[in-house]
Amino acid sequence: MRAVIQRVTKASCTVDNQITGQIQKGLMILLGVEEADTTEDLKWLGQKFINLRIFEDEQGMMNKSIQDVDGNILLISQFTLFAQTKKGNRPSFIRAAKPDKAKPMYEEMALLLSQLLQKEVQLGI
């Protein structure tokens, strides 16, 4: 798995002029699934998302987790995180998981994060 994590004051995902997910303060996570990824990888990364101390405390130090600040999560599926661009001008996505594997793992990550955060995770698809 590969992820880009962004602290946000607000974020939304729009598909075909319809908002599919939106949050206020929290994390926007772009998640790419690779063919070799396992459920163990998913659980480890989910715990990492929840426990990362990347929010400021009262002294301005990055010392608080998403739970500490009562934040929200917007999870967006992003196969392009596995783009290979070293050769030629056309990116290759050969390492990205096919939809029949990626979608269930994405949904499992959303469920895991909801359980760990104890609130609904917004989805970006």
Which residues are catalytically annotated?
Answer: 78-80
> Could you tell me the CA-to-CA distances from 38 to 34, 61, 83, 96, 99 in Å, in that order?
9, 34, 20, 13, 15
Within the chain, strands assigned E span: 2-8, 11-15, 18-23, 26-32, 55-56, 62-64, 72-77, 122-123
Please give the angle made by the CA atoms of 70, 72 and 77, to the nearest 5 degrees: 155
